Structure 1
Amino acid sequence: MERLPTGIPVLDRELDGGLPAGCVVALTADPASQSELFLNTFAGVRETLYLTTVRSADAVESGLSGSSVETGDPVVEAVHGEGPIEDARGFLPSVPDDGTVIVDSVGPLEDASTPRYRSLLSDLGDRVRETDATAVLHALEAGGGRSRNRVVTEQVADVVFDLRTVVTGTAIENRLAVPKFRGGAALEEPVKLKLTDTVSVDTSRDIA
């Protein structure tokens, strides 16, 4: 199966070259983490459709242009209004061949009824398989608990990236686990990452 590089060398090495073409990825993370660095990096690897559900398209474009990572020239579209499920579905024909579609974040879509949300994810999965693309669902962990359909997101996703950020004193530790990898091997151990202006391996030693 063709593998599509993520743009993050340590991940590509661990995942035997990257993500399978046609897969749906859920990136779960705390809102205070720098998970947007992952999205910016993913956007720079291939032609990208970036759907924003919370920020304005202008805000996303400004963030991408100001990023220190190579973000390419993604098409940014806002998914807002009273019918975000229908809005998002309307953009599916624009998913580029061999490209990437980013949904940032998936939370407002998860607020829909389970049948409608599951139908959207099914259509998204069909579309990325048709185009050999990759879909990345930015699934932030809300402070008030899991969203009503987060379990659906994780069930449908072919791959789950779980970014955990722990602050201990003055130290910030970021670890990326890959607990689910349909069609491949999940990582046995989390990868310790350094998130500054880019995503890189944290080579500092663990302190017991």
Structure 2
Amino acid sequence: MERLPTGIPVLDRELDGGLPAGSVVALKADPASQSELFLNTFAGVRETLYLTTVRSAEAVEGGLSASAVETGDPVVEAVDGEDPIEDARERLPSIPDDGTVIVDSTEPLEDADPLRYRSLLTDLVARTNETDATAILHALKTGGEPSRNRLVTEQVADVVFDLRTVVTGTAIENRLAVPKFRGGAALEEPVKLKLTDTVSVDTSRDIA
């Protein structure tokens, strides 16, 4: 099966070259983390449709322009109508062949009726398979009760990236776990990352 690079070398090495074409990826992360670095990096690898459900399209475009990583020239569209599920569905035909679609973030869609949300994900899976694209679902951890359809997001996803950010008295530690990898091998242990203005390996030693 063809692998599509993520644009993050350490991750591509761990994943035997990247993500299988047609994959739906759930990127779980704390809202205060640097998870947008991952989205910006993914956007720079291939032609990208960036669907924003919370921030305005202008805010996303400004963040992409200011990013230190190469973000390419993604098409940014806001999913902000009265019916976000249908608004998102209408944009699925715009997912580029061999490209990437980013949904940032999933919460407003996950708040919808479960049957309608499952139907949207079914259409998303069909479109990514048809185009050999990659779908990135930015699924933020709220710290309280998860969104009503978060389990559905994780079950449908072919790959789950779980970014864990821990703030100590002296440092901020970021580890990326890949507990689920349909069509490949999940990572046996989290990868320690350094998230500044780019994504790199954290080579600092853990002190017990």
Paired residues in the alignment total 208
| SS in structure 2 at match of 1:170 | coil
What is the one-letter code of the residue matched to 2:205? R
* Residue 107 of structure 1: aligned partner: 107
Q: Distance in 2 between matches of 1:143 and 1:161?
A: 17
Partner of 1:51: 51
Counterpart in the other structure of 1:90: 90
Q: Determine the C-alpha separation between the residues in 1 that align with 2:183 and 2:144.
A: 33
What is aligned with 2:154? 154
- Take 1:56 and 1:96, find their aligned partners in 2: how far apart are those partners? 22
In the alignment, the residues of structure 2 paired with residue 56 and residue 86 of structure 1 have an alpha-carbon distance, to the nearest angstrom, of: 18
Q: List aligned pairs for 1:14-53, cutoff 5 A.
A: 14-53=14-53
Q: 1:143, 1:174 → 2: CA distance?
A: 17
Q: Distance in 2 between matches of 1:147 and 1:93?
A: 26
2:188 match: 188
Which residue of structure 2 lines up, in the alignment, with residue 12 of structure 1? 12
Deviations 1:51-85 (A, max 9, x none): 00000000000000000000000000000122000
In structure 1, the gaps of 5 or more residues are: none
Amino acid at match of 2:188: E
In structure 1, distance between residues paired with 2:171 and 2:66? 26
C-alpha distance in 2 between matches for 1:106 and 1:141 = 11
Structure 2 residue identity aligned to 1:48: T
Residues 135-168 of structure 1: per-residue CA shift (max 9 Å, x gap): 0000001133211100000000000000000011
Q: Read off the aligned partner of 1:93 and give its amino acid letter.
A: P
Distance 1:113 1:157 in 2: 19
**RMSD over aligned Cα atoms:** 0.5
Q: Which amino acid aligns with 1:6?
A: T
Deviation at 1:181, TM superposition (A): 0.2
Residue by residue over 1:68-106, the C-alpha shift from the partner in whole angstroms, topping out at 9 and shown as x without a partner, is 000000000000122000000000000000000000001
Question: How far apart, CA to CA, are the structure 2 residues paired with 1:79 and 1:91?
Answer: 9
Q: Identity percentage over the alignment?
A: 87
For residues 207 and 26 of structure 2, what CA distance do their matches in structure 1 show?
30
Structure 2 unaligned regions, length at least 5: none
TM-score (norm 2): 0.99
**Which secondary structure does the structure 2 equivalent of 1:91 belong to?**
helix
Q: Runs in 1 of length 4+ with deviation above 4 angstroms?
A: none
